[in-house]
Chains A and B, each alone.
Chain A
Amino acid sequence: MAKEKKGVRLEHISKIYKDPKTGKDFYAVKDQNLEIEPGSFVTLLGPSGCGKTTTLRMIAGFESPDEGEIYLGGEPINALTPNKRDTAMVFQSYALLPHYNIFDNVAYGLKLRKMDSETIKKKVTDILALVGLEGMENRMTNQLSGGQQQRVALARALVIEPGVLLFDEPLSNLDAKLRVSMRTEIRRIQQEAGITAVYVTHDQSEAMAISDKVIIMNQGVVEQVATPQEAYYYPNSKFVADFIGECNFLKAKVTGQDQVEVDGTSVKCATGNLSVGAECDVVLRPEGATLSDSGAIKGTVDYSCFMGAYQDYRIKVGDSLIKIQEYNPKNKKIYKVGDSVYLNFEDNTLYAL
């Protein structure tokens, strides 16, 4: 559907802001290098204040970078104003024009492109069908639910066939259930339209569900660029491991190739480039261990709670508390507070940092 899928490249991009309290300059985004493939769905993920929205707004043209150059489809676009850039943004607050009806909202960008009214009508009708809003052309924006308004915002952005579609936390104003269905919807529409998309969110499950690649940012710096699976199983920093999903860090020492010692016990663990004898943190996901009456690492149950889908435990091992979730607890032994248990790992679940 898009005229041309465009890639986005950020070269050494930095943005400096002044801290309003201290009056000091700081890097909101620092020396960022990114390559976003044409047609891919990429998510900028990170806690608030990590620079993800600033990055998105620099691509859109609302902010100007202090260092570096942004390329869209190979062309440098630093000096272009937002209206001259081949991008379209879906805003957090939908940002529909409240004095126009749905049709006019979607047609706004087309009219600015001086298309004839026949073409406009056809394009608007088609795109409204794509986002599932057939027949709503004459409604006013305040007659729509939040989810419908966001669909209009999406249709409005898609209809001008931009080289890249930008999303600024588009689902954060919706309730939890709608968020889940809308994200699948967005993914479907992006795939159908075959358009490049850059998506900003602080919600890691949203990022995992929707993206080809996630870019995890922290304090203005890119921590990792990876597929959701890579980022989950092979985080390259404690920050990423902790931010994507829940996580335990076990203090350990590398004793050999893919072999580490935790609390005096030797266990199998991917060690990557770590050298023998190095201190390391072993990343253990809560669902990555099972509990039994015998096994590798011994501990005591500190907390045990039924959560429906899983039994939630805190196991005291040495000085640290380890969070374990045992899924489908119905047919499993339930340990009580004070019980002694052993942690067992499957061979490739542990990963050392």
Chain B
Amino acid sequence: MAKSQSASLDRKKLLADPIMVTTIALLIVFLTIFILYPLAILLVDSFISEDGFTLDIFKRIMAMANFRRAITNTLKVGFLVGIASALIGLLFAYVEVYVKLRTKFMEGLFKVVSMLPVVSPPFVLSLSMIMLFGKAGIITRFLLHIYDNSVYGFWGIAIVQTLTFFPVCYMMLKGLLKNIDPSLEEAARDMGASRFKVFMTVTFPLILPGLGNAFLVTFIESIADFANPMIIGGSYDTLATTIYLQITGAYDKEGAAAMAVVLLAITLLMFVVQKYYLEAKSTATLSGKASRERMLITDKSVTVPLTILCSALAIFVILMYVCVPFGAMFKTWGYDFHLTFKWFGQVFTKYKGLKAFKDSFILSLIASPITALLSMIISYLVVKKKFKAKGFIEAVSMLAMAVPGTVLGIGYIRGFSGGLFGTGILQWLYGTGAILVIVFIVRSLPTGTRSGISALRQIDKSIEESAYDMGADSFKVFMTVTLPLIKDSFLSGFVTSFVRSITAISAIILLVTPSYLLITVQINEFAEKGSYGIACAFATILIMITYGSVLLMNLVMKYFGTSRRVNLDE
């Protein structure tokens, strides 16, 4: 059997659509240059020397005690944070889905907890951790009278990362638990199993792959995290911070490249396991939709302890966030608790705050609509079209998810400081705002694409086919049918990418030049110097911006979103 005719006909049909062909070609070029090439150049840097292939650079970095220590440190933290986040996430998800806690207060707490990591810069918790439990920490010093408590190091990083990442697990597991058909558990109860037995023999096995998935996602996040270890790690170096110091401190570009390759290898491996094994498995076991409402657990012996536990955790997390604006308003944290606006004032008078906010704001605002549009286009192509390069486009845009920011940053330095392959082509990009915008785009693309893909999968493919059949070409179909139908997803992609961009630091810190002041870089700088008042003031304003934009998005969606589709008869 020869399938050649249909293949050649499909190709002809594709070529009859010049806008789509151009789009695909441009996408391939973009993804190749800005995702694949910087990673490839890291491999070249670390394996190829003047006399050809070599392992010398790897031998050299492996001989460094601090690098070997960084590997074990990173893995240790990642492991602990992964497990802790998955378990706390499970606790919250279970309580939300299974237990009757329908008080407004609890609902509010849960909502806030799930929102916080979205709107806050990644390292805010490190700041508050230091301010609450450090040497001058309110809790340690003033409540417990411990004067030399050290929050820096393994436990500091682990606690802060767990508190930062567990809401992600909570959201993932909540979705899974909601998909369990209650009649499965009722059947087990009916046959005589106790509630605990039901959990252990029915619920837990069903979500085990999902739990593994949550663990790995957090694990990847943890080992890729740069800002928290930077601020609260102290002398406890992880891979991300070691790489950063290797290039900014020791100016060892080949060494940093090789280290980045090691970090990338670890995250890639985890990502492949997570994406192609666990993710498929966790959705396969729970493909069904719940057939009806679940009977919530009302038993006081269950609800009371769980309520207390969850509230305590949630309040603790919220307290840590609340500590940031207060940190910006106390005269001297830990010594002088008079309220003052001097830090906020200094942000704008002394430390060019206005420029920092302007730069961050403008660059992020340029990047986010591009990201949103690009991810919608990629999702459209991936879900609705068939062509040869589809696999490539999907794989590379997802690959970006597994690339730690630090690795990408080093890749860009090595890949663009001398132009493409050192030829000077595209060298003009280096050190400009444009390259920062591109980094923002690449860093947010996977999340946007993923949400676009899941939104598009829910749209009956015959809707677009009907438009196509009526005479619209692919571009017209995309503009008049697809985009209007997924505008909610587009909008949330826009805002998510804006928030991610304005709070990004790991890749950016390696690429930013003095002509651009970015808020996150400022916060990092002041936090490292110990100027917590200024750092908190910056962070407070940043949280207000991000929170404001999420509120604005919700408002816009409420009034213009697809849920408001029905307009009544005129």
Contacts and interface: CB of A to CB of B under 8 A. Distances in A.
Nearest to B487: A99
Contacts of B460: 93, 95
Interface residues of A, number: 43
Interface string A121-145: 0000000000000000011101100
| Most interface-central of B13, B16, B470 (chain A CB within 10 A) | B470
Contacts of B473: 81, 83
B470 A156 contact: yes
B470 A64 contact: no
Contacts of B565: 98-99, 140, 142
Interface in B1-38: 1-7, 9-10, 12-13, 16-17
Nearest to B6: A64
Contacts of A139: 569
B469 A89 contact: yes
B468 interface: yes
A66 interface: yes
B64 interface: no
A65 B6 contact: yes
Interface stretch (A108-116, A222-230, A237-245, A266-274): A108-116
A63 interface: yes
Interface residues of B, number: 36
A62 interface: yes
Contacts of A142: 565-566
A81 B484 contact: no
A34 B476 CA distance: 33
A25 B3 contact: yes
Given A98-B485, A99-B484, A99-B565, A79 B470 contact: no
A94 to B, nearest CB: 8
A146 interface: no
Interface in B455-479: 460, 462-463, 465-473, 476
Nearest to B13: A81
Interface string B540-569: 000000000000000000000010011101
B570 interface: yes
A87 interface: yes
Contacts of B365: none
Contacts of B5: 64-67
Given A88-B470, A91-B466, A109-B471, A66 B12 contact: no
Contacts of B4: 66
Contact of A16 (B3, B470, B569): B3
Contact of A78 (B1, B9, B465): B9
B112 interface: no
Given A16-B6, A64-B10, A138-B570, A98 B470 contact: no
Contacts of B17: 81
Nearest to A112: B471
Contact of A160 (B1, B13, B471, B570): B471
Contact of B468 (A78, A82, A156): A82
Contact of B1 (A27, A98, A112): A27
A16 B3 CA distance: 7
A92 B462 contact: yes
B1 A83 contact: no
Contacts, number: 112
Given A81-B17, A108-B467, A140-B567, A66 B3 contact: yes
A15 interface: yes
Interface in A61-107: 61-67, 78-84, 87-89, 91-93, 95-99, 101
B159 interface: no
Given A81-B16, A95-B465, A160-B470, A63 B570 contact: no
B262 interface: no
B101 interface: no
A16 B5 CA distance: 10
B9 A89 contact: no
A60 interface: yes
A81 to B, nearest CB: 5
A61 B468 CA distance: 10
Contacts of A108: 467, 470, 472, 480
Contacts of B470: 83, 88, 108-109, 112, 156, 160
Contacts of A96: 463, 466
Interface in A38-64: 60-64
Contacts of A93: 460, 462
Nearest to B484: A99
A63 B469 contact: no
B484 to A, nearest CB: 5
B463 A98 contact: yes
Nearest to A141: B565
A150 to B, nearest CB: 13
Contacts of A15: 6
A153 B9 CA distance: 28
B106 interface: no
A93 B465 CA distance: 11
Nearest to A92: B462
Contacts of B471: 83-84, 109, 112-113, 160
B469 to A, nearest CB: 5
B462 to A, nearest CB: 4
A156 B470 CA distance: 8
A78 B569 CA distance: 44
A112 B472 contact: yes
B65 to A, nearest CB: 51
A104 B562 CA distance: 17
B146 interface: no
B118 interface: no
B481 interface: yes
A95 B473 CA distance: 17
A99 to B, nearest CB: 5
Given A88-B470, A95-B462, A143 B3 contact: no
Nearest to A142: B566
Contacts of B462: 91-93, 95
B570 A87 contact: no
B480 to A, nearest CB: 8
Interface in B185-220: none
Contacts of A65: 5-6, 9
A77 B566 CA distance: 40
A352 to B, nearest CB: 37
Contacts of B10: 64
Contacts of A92: 462
Nearest to B470: A109
Contacts of B6: 15-16, 63-66
Nearest to A90: B466
A140 B564 CA distance: 12
B529 to A, nearest CB: 53
B9 A82 contact: no
Contacts of A140: 565-567
A128 B463 CA distance: 20
Nearest to B567: A140
B469 A88 contact: yes
Interface string A1-36: 000000000000001100000000101000000000
A27 B6 CA distance: 13
Nearest to A97: B481
Contacts of A101: 567
Nearest to A17: B3
Nearest to A98: B565
Contacts of B467: 97, 108
A25 B7 CA distance: 14
Sorted nearest first, the 7 A-B pairs with minimum C-beta distance are A64-B9, A109-B470, A95-B466, A95-B462, A64-B6, A91-B462, A112-B471
21 contacts: A16-B1, A25-B1, A27-B1, A60-B469, A62-B465, A65-B5, A66-B3, A66-B5, A66-B6, A79-B16, A80-B16, A95-B462, A96-B466, A98-B485, A98-B565, A99-B484, A112-B476, A142-B565, A153-B466, A156-B466, A160-B471
Interface of A: 15-16, 25, 27, 60-67, 78-84, 87-89, 91-93, 95-99, 101, 108-109, 112-113, 138-140, 142-143, 153, 156, 160
